[in-house]
Chain A
């Protein structure tokens, strides 16, 4: 079908698809053709999309029909395939990318995944095929799922943790992914019962939500393991979840450029850590302070080595074969302890937020003179200086409205104050 629509080897295709079997089919069909998928976060709006479309200039866009209104201005001259109720059809969008040659993407690269490093704009990590395979192997070494087990897929598929944990690992090791359309904790419990789910892969914030509704969980005997990543799992929550659901809670750490970097291993789980650094990865803490904390650097042949069409940023981040994670931590008995981000990004409920990007878009608001963005306890706040005599509450409402179409919803500061 994709070939019929004109997608060829060397083409780049941006995917705007909800979690579905179709997502997985299209993803692998593109790779089979020799095209490069960009799995795009569906929450992205103008500021992120401007950068992705200008940086990657995809030949094709494969999108949910109801997402067209968000991406309409980027479609001209590209092959556009829309998904509507499980059916695909080609949309007339002018020249349709047919006259363009292939992109300069090495055949070792599987996908381009946009992530952040604190530069104020997203960077397209060129993720090699081997990273998906090696990452899946390292994750399976830790979680030790048995063929035939079922894994509940809750997180959006474009995330690297979902791609590896919920798509590649299941396909390689014979695990059955069960895709949930809802993240409502009551629906998730129903799905666990209906499909006899043994494992869930999610972020700590979703596990916390399951815990809050634990009295509606019913008989969760089938559940064996919670695979967790994406943000910090507080020790207290770890203990509560294990006690309540009687599962192995396997928490780990990874980045788009390589996942997993470290992970707790069944039978050797150490709460408060993000687990053992994976075998086959070299690591160092550099520079290291008197307490052993410093930036975590990793090296493996099997990781991302550059960002698409961003050579200066690539040189900053990938040095002499080492990937500077931009995160501060230390290693204790082979277990990694995460302290904080050194780079200007923060995790908000499992989502990465680039503080400079938020500041940049806020500065585009009329009469904005200064904006300082902070993140404490996963809550984003903005202190703003604005030339306006208007009531501040009304001004804040107007700022939020301004941001709504321009940036992903989770990046809109919750708290505003005047400088």
Chain B
């Protein structure tokens, strides 16, 4: 098992950080964002915004996200879980 698996504390920090990123790009108060919020329909994230979010997260966590993998992700929670999965796979 690799050492870079993220802990519960890390996961909480990561969750908070991703929500902050989404809030800034969607121009919405981060308190209004929770795991069940729909990224496209409720946050109004369009294709250019999603590129910005992905690039931000890739930079911060030194990972690569396959854009096609994210096509079927609908909620904030699913997106966070996906990022955790990618970090754990590193």
Contacts from A to B (Cβ < 8 Å): 182-186, 205-206, 209, 212-213, 216, 349, 397, 400-401, 409-410, 414-415
Contacts of A410 in B (CB 8 A): 46-47
Number of A-B contacts (CB under 8 A): 44
B6 interface contact, C-beta 8 A: no
Tell whether, in the assembled complex, residue A349 and residue B48 are in contact, meaning their CB atoms are under 8 Å apart.
Answer: yes
B51 interface contact, C-beta 8 A: yes
Tell whether, in the assembled complex, residue A206 and residue B48 are in contact, meaning their CB atoms are under 8 Å apart.
Answer: yes
Tell whether, in the assembled complex, residue B55 and residue A184 are in contact, meaning their CB atoms are under 8 Å apart.
Answer: yes
Chain B binding surface, main DSSP class: helix
Residue among B38, B42, B55 making CB contact with A213, cutoff 8 Å? B55
Tell whether, in the assembled complex, residue B42 and residue A397 are in contact, meaning their CB atoms are under 8 Å apart.
Answer: yes
Give min CB distance, A209 to chain B, whole Å: 6
Contacts from B to A (Cβ < 8 Å): 38, 40-42, 44, 46-48, 51-52, 54-55, 58-59, 65, 67
Once bound together, how far apart are the Cα atoms of A409 and B39, in whole Å? 13
Once bound together, how far apart are the Cα atoms of A212 and B51, in whole Å? 11
Once bound together, how far apart are the Cα atoms of A212 and B48, in whole Å? 12
Q: Please give 6 more A-B residue pairs, beta carbons under 8 A apart, in addition to A184-B65, A400-B41.
A: A185-B51, A185-B52, A186-B59, A349-B47, A401-B41, A414-B44
Residue of A nearest to B59 (CB): A216
Tell whether, in the assembled complex, residue B38 and residue A397 are in contact, meaning their CB atoms are under 8 Å apart.
Answer: yes
Tell whether, in the assembled complex, residue A184 and residue B67 are in contact, meaning their CB atoms are under 8 Å apart.
Answer: yes
Once bound together, how far apart are the Cα atoms of A400 and B40, in whole Å? 9
Tell whether, in the assembled complex, residue B42 and residue A209 are in contact, meaning their CB atoms are under 8 Å apart.
Answer: no
Contacts of B52 in A (CB 8 A): 185, 209, 212
Sampled A-B contacts (8; CB under 8 Å): A184-B51, A184-B67, A186-B58, A186-B59, A209-B51, A216-B59, A410-B47, A414-B46
Residue of B nearest to A398 (CB): B41
Contacts of B40 in A (CB 8 A): 400, 409
Contacts of B51 in A (CB 8 A): 183-185, 209
